[in-house]
Structure 1
Amino acid sequence: MTLAYQLIDFKNPVFLAYTLWSVTLALKMMYLSMHTAIFRFKNQTFANPEDGGRRNVHFNNEEVERVRRAHRNDMENILPAFLIGLLYVLIEPSTLSACLLFKIGAIARIIHTVVYAIVVIPQPARVLAFAIHYIITIYMGVSVLYHLF
């Protein structure tokens, strides 16, 4: 069995942590998608005229747009972190540090969603949560590149 197969295995605690927190963030992103749909129906704010049927349709609603922006921010930041995180698993990082990075990064993204789209809290709450995850992703990416060279 090659090393890559040994690393991408649920017996590897780093891969297990990566999987746990990646699935958690994927489910959170799916929640935001449904949250957007709920707010669209609640506010009669639809993306396309045919989506509203015969109802009076509005296209701009701050409540809907806030959730959409949070979801878009997730896609722009969490999706690259999934790839970088998997590559980070492959460089055999320290178990403790890798598990902490995955956990802290995921919790930061959850907090980002809460303070952005659920219970709006003024800055710097959102930017701090964003920065923590972003810095962790950058660190893991640089670690992968360093390992390669």
Structure 2
Amino acid sequence: MEHIVRKANREDLESLKDFMGTTEVKLHDLESWIDFCLLASDAESGVLKGTIGIQPFADSGLLRALVLKEGSAEEILYLLQQAIKLAKEKNLGMLYCVVNNKNASNLFYLLGFKEINVEDLPVDVRESSTVNAMKVVNNSKIMYYSINNVDN
């Protein structure tokens, strides 16, 4: 299945909330970072099939809402690559993510992410609800990516 990936805008907010309501992923304050979201739609039908977002914190961002229904590993990688490009476009210096399974870790390693200790995160990222929630999930880790690695 081929997807078209585009930046979300304010008009997408309700459809994105509806889409996320069909998943187990819960988002807080989506309205404040909708401009940091990408949408993946089916190329033929236009139906929303996935999303990825970046919750901004000063000059860094935290990956959120990575959902792709009926997607292959290659399509997930592509969506992640597009999020990295969006982070660069938004002048973010670092991108962080919370990972809690080995398959996801492997995908992030493939893209060049590295592990980081929670104590080494910027204070605003470390105190976010996402990072605090990961502390109670077994085998969770924080990974980071330096946006300076991205070519234009």
Class of the TM-score when normalised by the shorter of the 2 chains: under 0.3
Normalised to the residue count of structure 1, the TM-score between the two structures is 0.21
Choose between structure 1 and 2: higher helix proportion.
1
Q: Which has the higher contact order (CA 8 A, sep 6+)?
A: 1
The structure that has the greater radius of gyration is 1
Normalised to the residue count of structure 2, the TM-score between the two structures is 0.21
